[in-house]
Amino acid sequence: MKIIAFFNNKGGVGKTSLVYHLAWMYADLGLTVIAADLDPQANLSAMFLEEDRLQELWPDGLHPDTLLGVIQPILKGTGDIAPPHLESVEADGRSVDLLVGDLGLSGFEDKLSDAWPRCLDGDEAAFRTISAFYRALLAAAQSQEADLILVDVGPNLGAINRAAIIAAHHVVIPLAPDLFSLQGLRNLGPTFRSWRKGWDERLKKNPAPDLPLPGPEMQPAGYVVMQHAIRLDRPVKSYARWMERIPTSYRQYVMDKPAEEGMRVEDDRYCLALLKHYRSLMPMAMEARKPIFFLRPADGAIGSHAAAVRDCHHDFTDLARQIADRCGVPLC
């Protein structure tokens, strides 16, 4: 079982849409997939579920069937994580299990910040807190015999994301070819490496050998260039300039490696895909509550849309295979 997180501290680059589509693509490729919504904005949950269902999952008071319910005993200091509930979602004869997000997850930020330094003192409760997400993902995977967990996180470098990223075996970075994404990499890369080093140091202080903890893996699997996120108010030549800089910035900030002069995104081994702008197909898919590549004529995918839906299926098949290859996920 592999856990793959999709992470960029720059907002709105398309992380959640990517996780949603890849979860369905891996289900289509025959894997048992869990999509885990670790963003307190819960946009992934809103993509998968109808509003009525979300209302049931987020009643006044306790939320036993969301991720908040899982970590609630830790938050309250009354015990360890509760068994996770998974919401089974169906589309086009496939199914994906969702670990439902919760706006209340933001209340975990302070607890996680406080636990991080205490791990260095060998404090078992601190290790239980930092590893709560990982252990929740592990329990979810075991209950479904899952092959793969895809994790969506919010756009920041806070303590929730640190715990989420530590829990992942691999991290994919979706980015846009613009100033904001590349500036974002300057912060993301070093922070990401300091989290890995910090966790490695802390692991040596763990006082509870039986506690399942994530290893210090969190390997960067590569980046996906999200072309829909290009700012249309910028000239085309500025787009080309930012595209040129991606391979160098990724090497320098994320991999801590020297630049390879003249490397183009298209030839870069760290580039997993250049993902298209799917234009009106994206809102059509959100409306139909299914990924673009499952859209049918009854959903409005007729004429040129039908061809674009087939192209999208190819794009995501290729991307899913690339990521699986990098992360060691066996596919048929």
Ligand X SMILES: Nc1ncnc2c1ncn2[C@@H]1O[C@H](COP(=O)(O)OP(=O)(O)OP(=O)(O)O)[C@@H](O)[C@H]1O
Question: Which positions lie near ligand X, rule CB under 6 A?
Answer: 11-17, 39, 43, 154-155, 228, 275, 277-278, 282
| Cβ neighbours, 10 Å, residue 159 | 19
User: Is the Cβ of residue 108 or residue 293 nearer to ligand X in the bound state?
Assistant: 293
Q: How far is the CB of 177 from ligand X (least distance, A)?
A: 13
In 64-122, where do the E strands start and end?
A: 87-91, 94-99
Residue number of the CB atom closest to Mg ion = 16
Q: How far is the CB of 77 from ligand X (least distance, A)?
A: 30
Q: Does 9 bind Mg ion (CB under 5 A)?
A: no
Which partner in Mg ion, ligand X, none is near 13 (CB below 5 to 8 A by kind)?
ligand X
Which partner in Mg ion, ligand X, none is near 277 (CB below 5 to 8 A by kind)?
ligand X
User: Is the Cβ of residue 155 or residue 291 nearer to ligand X in the bound state?
Assistant: 155
| Cβ neighbours, 10 Å, residue 114 | 12
φ/ψ (deg, to 5) at 122: 70, 30
Instruction: Pick out residues in 14-73 that bind Mg ion (CB under 5 A).
Output: 15-16, 43
Which 3 state secondary structure label does DSSP give 20?
A: helix
Q: How far is the CB of 206 from Mg ion (least distance, A)?
A: 32
Which 3 state secondary structure label does DSSP give 178?
A: coil
Contact 125, 115 (CB under 8 A): yes
Spell 34-43 as b/e; 16+ CB within 10 A means b. Answer: bbbbbbbbbb
Q: How far is the CB of 43 from ligand X (least distance, A)?
A: 5
Distances (CA, A) of 2 to 31, 58, 125, 175, 306: 11, 29, 26, 22, 33
User: Is the Cβ of residue 199 or residue 294 nearer to ligand X in the bound state?
Assistant: 294
Structure-token pair, residue 97: 């299990």
Q: How far is the CB of 251 from Mg ion (least distance, A)?
A: 26
Structure-token pair, residue 253: 């900030």
Which partner in ligand X, Mg ion, none is near 243 (CB below 5 to 8 A by kind)?
none
Q: How far is the CB of 39 from Mg ion (least distance, A)?
A: 6
User: Is the Cβ of residue 22 or residue 81 nearer to ligand X in the bound state?
Assistant: 22
Structure-token pair, residue 264: 């183009």
Contacts with Mg ion, residue ranges (CB under 5 A): 15-16, 43
